[in-house]
Chains A and B, each alone.
Chain A
């Protein structure tokens, strides 16, 4: 079974530029999460999708961050314009959201963003 795929793995941009990250969850996983992990901290949820609907975006800085999950599969997370404090690893995770252990989250390798 293929894992969660993310691209790019690394990105360096200047402040005020825009950037986009892509995530392909495990096939059949209804729930998709985007987390921000600042160096030395635990992941913090930015947004959670159930199929193509948003379940929780309470910690997403909506003035600069946006995310979409078209057709309930792939997802993109965008930052525009980027700030220095956005430097972090952006992790995508997915879970079944149904039976068994619906909340076991499978994480991708992350995208390391550096804003200069």
Chain B
């Protein structure tokens, strides 16, 4: 079955710097890759996603890139702000086979003012 590895487990940046979180997946059939943000005491919230027919997607300060050949995808946050501090999870699934998400282990991002 699918396995998703996420790095780093913790990341500390200064406000205004960029942050990059990387994930690798094992199942070449996976074709949908969402990223979730989880704040303390809350459930995960989708922040951006990418499908396998696209190499890059941007939404304001957030971007995701996908390399299908290498089976890895990354989250890029530019101009980080203290409110970006949270735990971020990547996930993978095969879009047309039920939507079962396999999550990475999470990255705790801390943005220092």
With contact pairs A4-B43, A91-B43, A93-B43 given, residues A105 and B103 touching in the complex (Cβ less than 8 Å): no
Q: Is B89 an interface residue (CB 8 A)?
A: yes
Choose from B45, B98, B103 the contact partner of A43 (Cβ within 8 Å).
Answer: B103
Q: Counting CB contacts under 8 A, is A108 at the interface?
A: yes
Q: B105 touching A108 by the CB < 8 A rule?
A: no
User: Is B82 positioned at the interface, with any CB of A under 8 Å from its CB?
Assistant: no
Which residues on the A side are within 8 Å of B4 (C-beta)?
42
Selected from B45, B98, B103, the residue in CB contact (under 8 A) with A42 is B103
- A55 neighbours in B (Cβ, 8 Å): 98
Q: Which residue of A lies closest to B6 (CB)?
A: A42
CA distance A44 to B2 in the complex (A): 12
Question: In the complex, which of the residues A40, A106, A107 contacts B106, with contact meaning CB atoms closer than 8 Å?
Answer: A40
Q: Which residues of A contact B106 (CB under 8 A)?
A: 40-42
Contacts of B103 in A (CB 8 A): 42-44
* Contact residues in B for A104 (Cβ distance below 8 Å): 34, 46, 49
The answer to whether A60 has its CB under 8 Å from any CB of chain B is: no
Please name all residues of chain B whose beta carbon is closer than 8 Å to the beta carbon of A109 when the two chains form the complex.
Answer: 41-43
How many residues on A have C-beta within 8 angstroms of the other chain's C-beta atoms?
Answer: 25
Nearest-neighbour CB distance to chain A for B14, whole angstroms, equals 25
Once bound together, how far apart are the Cα atoms of A95 and B106, in whole Å?
22
A92 to B44, CA, bound (A): 10
Interface core residue of B34, B36, B98, B104 (most chain A CB under 10 Å): B98
- CB-CB under 8 A from A93, the residues of chain B are 43
Sample (6) of A-B pairs whose CB atoms are under 8 Å apart: A41-B105, A42-B91, A42-B105, A48-B99, A107-B45, A110-B43
**Chain B residues with a Cβ under 8 A of chain A:** 4, 6, 32, 34, 36, 41-46, 49, 89, 91, 93, 95, 98-101, 103-106
